[in-house]
């Protein structure tokens, strides 16, 4: 397969993105990486593996730049990278740049799958019970009930095809497990999800249940809530390890103890590290578009390329299209 990698997007672009692309090319020799960057950056690239090619762009969409500017900057790295997918010259696009610009480029150039009201960003969450999926993670801060029902369908197919869950349990994030809990939209969405015979809907789940992951495989919520949840988990994990590190360095006894549990702590940190999963696919568009964390390092970019490869190999977009075609019939 072929991945168009936007090497200009992200807080640590271009070097970390380039390094991640090189690492991905070495780890997955069956994947062709197309690095999309400005002439100045491309001229400074080191010697590249044989399965990396380049594509020149003329500009970059800033991280906080108005999305409306995308149409004025059709030579931007994210536009050029996404157009490679539209034109059949790439099978996926990966970027750590502006999420808004990447979403806009995907909807504009790739288009929505028929029947999908709005695309959603799905991300893999760490949990005690293993990887879990949450969507939306920021694309639709004001999602309505129908959209939340569709997120359930998209989340189910993602969890089944990419994570390998046979019959994913779908939960709706609310402030209580009772079906009467939640705002008007959540209550309406609960009814739609409950009546959706294609879903294994288990009802409402509370925020405190997210990290244990025992009852659900996919959690559905609006983009505002999902973004807050994911960033809260990231912040909690970082703060927790900072506290542990401080305590373990507080005395000779704790330093000796730290040496004994060092490997275990590394495993816990790895479990909670977003870079292990690399990026979040934009579900509902007619192509693979992997949205990476703005602060992605090389390791995260390599894993984002792996996520794109997995989506491609599992035929995720085609399966999603089939599911929504059935709903339209």
293-309 per-position pLDDT tens digit: 888 899 999 999 999 99
How many domains does the structure of the chain reveal?
2
Task: Kindly give the pairing relationship between strand 169-173 and strand 132-135.
Answer: unpaired
Residue 238 or 46, more confident: 46
pLDDT at 258: 64
pLDDT band at 213 (very low <50, low <70, confident <90, very high): confident
- Residue-wise pLDDT for 281-294, tens only, equals 999 999 999 999 88
pLDDT, average across residues 235-243: 73
Query: Mean pLDDT in the chain?
Result: 88
CB atoms within 10 A of CB 247: 12
Do 96 and 67 belong together in one domain?
Answer: yes
pLDDT band at 94 (very low <50, low <70, confident <90, very high): very high
Do 269 and 290 belong together in one domain?
Answer: no
Do 268 and 184 belong together in one domain?
Answer: yes
pLDDT, average across residues 232-247: 74
- Residue-wise pLDDT for 21-36, tens only, equals 999 999 999 999 999 9
CB 320 within 8 A of CB 37: no
pLDDT, average across residues 168-197: 92
pLDDT at 230: 81
Q: Answer whether residue 237 shows pLDDT above 90.
A: no
Q: How many CA atoms lie within 13 A of 31 on its CB side?
A: 29
pLDDT band at 61 (very low <50, low <70, confident <90, very high): very high
Domain final position from 275, 300, 317: 275
Q: Answer whether residue 156 shows pLDDT above 90.
A: yes
CA separation for the pair 221, 215 (Å, rounded): 16
pTM above 0.85, yes or no: yes
Which one-letter DSSP state was computed for residue 108? I
Do 193 and 271 belong together in one domain?
Answer: yes
Do 84 and 133 belong together in one domain?
Answer: no
Do 146 and 226 belong together in one domain?
Answer: yes
Do 234 and 106 belong together in one domain?
Answer: no
pLDDT at 130: 77
Do 142 and 66 belong together in one domain?
Answer: no
CATH value at residue 240: 3.40.718.10
pLDDT at 255: 73
CB 7 within 8 A of CB 37: yes
Do 225 and 84 belong together in one domain?
Answer: no
Buried/exposed 104-121: b ≥16 CB within 10 Å, e otherwise: bbbbebbeebebbebbbb
Do 103 and 8 belong together in one domain?
Answer: yes
Do 235 and 298 belong together in one domain?
Answer: no
Q: 175 by DSSP, 3-state: which? A: coil
| Range of weakest confidence among 59-63, 108-112, 181-185, 211-215 | 211-215
Q: Answer whether residue 276 shows pLDDT above 70.
A: no
Q: Answer whether residue 273 shows pLDDT above 60.
A: no
CA separation for the pair 159, 157 (Å, rounded): 6
Q: Which domain holds residue 317?
A: 1-116+284-329
Do 301 and 234 belong together in one domain?
Answer: no
CB 301 within 8 A of CB 272: no
pLDDT at 210: 85
């Amino acid at each position: 397969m072929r991945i168009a990698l936007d090497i200009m997007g992200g807080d640590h672009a271009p070097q970390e993105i380039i390094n991640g692309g090189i690492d991905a090319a070495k780890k997955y020799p069956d994947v062709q990486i197309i690095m999309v960057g400005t002439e100045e950056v491309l001229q400074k690239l080191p010697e590249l593996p044989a399965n990396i090619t380049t594509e020149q762009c003329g500009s970059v969409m800033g991280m906080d730049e108005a999305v409306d500017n995308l149409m004025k900057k059709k030579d931007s790295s994210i536009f050029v990278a996404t157009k490679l997918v539209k034109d059949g010259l790439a099978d996926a696009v990966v970027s750590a740049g502006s999420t808004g610009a990447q979403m806009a480029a995907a909807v504009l150039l790739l288009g929505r799958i028929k029947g999908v009201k709005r695309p959603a960003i799905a991300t893999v969450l760490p949990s005690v019970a293993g990887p879990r999926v949450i969507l939306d993670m920021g694309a639709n801060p004001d999602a309505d009930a129908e959209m939340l029902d569709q997120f359930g369908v998209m989340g189910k197919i993602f969890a089944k095809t990419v994570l390998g869950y046979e019959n994913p349990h779908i939960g709706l994030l609310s402030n209580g497990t009772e079906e009467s809990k939640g705002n008007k939209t959540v209550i309406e969405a609960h009814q739609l999800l409950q009546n959706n015979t294609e879903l294994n809907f288990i009802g409402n789940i509370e925020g405190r249940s997210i990290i244990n992951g025992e009852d659900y495989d996919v959690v559905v919520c609006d983009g505002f809530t999902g973004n807050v949840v994911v960033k809260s988990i990231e912040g909690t994990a970082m703060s927790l390890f900072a506290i542990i590190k401080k305590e373990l360095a507080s005395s000779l006894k704790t330093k000796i103890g730290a040496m004994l549990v060092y490997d275990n702590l590394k495993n816990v940190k790895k479990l909670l590290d977003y870079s292990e999963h690399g990026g979040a696919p934009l579900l509902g568009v007619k192509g693979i578009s992997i949205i990476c964390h703005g602060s992605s390092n090389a390791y995260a970019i390599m894993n984002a390329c792996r996520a794109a490869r997995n989506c491609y190999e599992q035929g995720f977009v085609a399966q999603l299209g089939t599911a929504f075609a059935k709903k339209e019939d």
